[in-house]
Amino acid sequence: MPAQESNKVVTLQHPSGATAKVSLFGATVTSWISNGIERLFVSKDAILDGSKAIRGGIPLVFPIFGTKAHIPLPQHGFARNSYWDYLGILTDNDEVAVRFSLKDNQLTKDQRQSWPHSFRLVYTVTLTATQLKTYLTVKNEDSDTMEFNTLLHTYFRVKDIANVSVEGLSSYTFADKVAGGATSVENRDKITIAEEVDRVYQDVQDHLQLNTGDGQKLMIDKSGMKDTVVWNPWIEKAQGMGDFGNEEYHEMICVEVGSVAQWVHLEGGQTWTGGQTISIA
């Protein structure tokens, strides 16, 4: 069976043995196993009862990034905190895919008042032997223009953050959220992590490489997403999060594709699509 739904989790199964799991809460991908290796990180302390966003996997950020004073929504919006509809399975050649949908009429009254737009989101998760593809389509069902941010907040599992590096961001401008949003230009060919890192790299190329430190390389190719966030909470912030183990910062890195530095403007009746393909080198 290529896909099955159980206890509000959809499991994709590929003939190669690769698997992926997606929670209907947030349409959050919570597992991706390829070549017998789990590629995504989910905290051992993650809350999985639907009371808050899942700490790990690939939470889906929409329609705001962070918090916005003029838009009274929870941090990173409502998409990762909402139950999505499962639309079913698609198969094409060597791919197994599932789709999920979220509409404005599924939101709470407060959410609809805070972001009063008519919309439809369709999220497609596709599994192959060596790839995971996650793509979001946004349709503006209003007549007026809609503005939004979106991001795929991907948590990658690594054995030791000290040996991890990200390539492909050299020479790009970034906003350093640890330094209060100060901007700078990246001068390293390989970005390594030795302290808290929370950087929004702006308008960057579509191809990145994550070296996981154990001889494995993951290629991240984005489409329709202008920016990339690199995040690791490090010691102090890890200790301050109730749904994240104190020492788990050693075991993860977030490399997140999105459009967050500027608003995406979508005219009434129009559709926008963006996402990523993660490949095992």
Say which CATH number the domain at 119 has: 2.70.98.10
Give the integer Cα–Cα distance in Å for 226 and 236: 30
Which residue positions in the chain have pLDDT lower than 50?
1
Q: For this structure, is 153 an active site residue?
A: yes
In a domain, 265, yes or no: yes
The first and second tokens of residue 205, run together, are 């190329």
* 89, 2 Cβ separation under 8 angstroms: yes
Handedness of CA 261, 52, 135, 197 (dihedral sign): positive
Give the integer Cα–Cα distance in Å for 36 and 48: 24
Our count of domains for the chain comes to 1
In a domain, 211, yes or no: no
In a domain, 41, yes or no: yes
Instruction: Evaluate if pTM is beyond 0.85.
Output: yes
Handedness of CA 114, 120, 126, 132 (dihedral sign): negative
Closest CA to 241 of 256, 252, 226: 252
Q: For this structure, is 70 an active site residue?
A: no
Select which of 14, 76, 248, 256 is catalytic: 256
In a domain, 203, yes or no: no
In a domain, 251, yes or no: yes
In a domain, 163, yes or no: no
Select which of 117, 153, 247, 267 is catalytic: 153
Determine the pLDDT at residue 92. 81
Q: Is 80 known as a binding-site position?
A: yes
Domain range holding 41? 3-158+231-280
In a domain, 201, yes or no: no
Determine the pLDDT at residue 227. 98
In a domain, 186, yes or no: no
Q: Is 75 known as a binding-site position?
A: yes
Determine the pLDDT at residue 6. 55
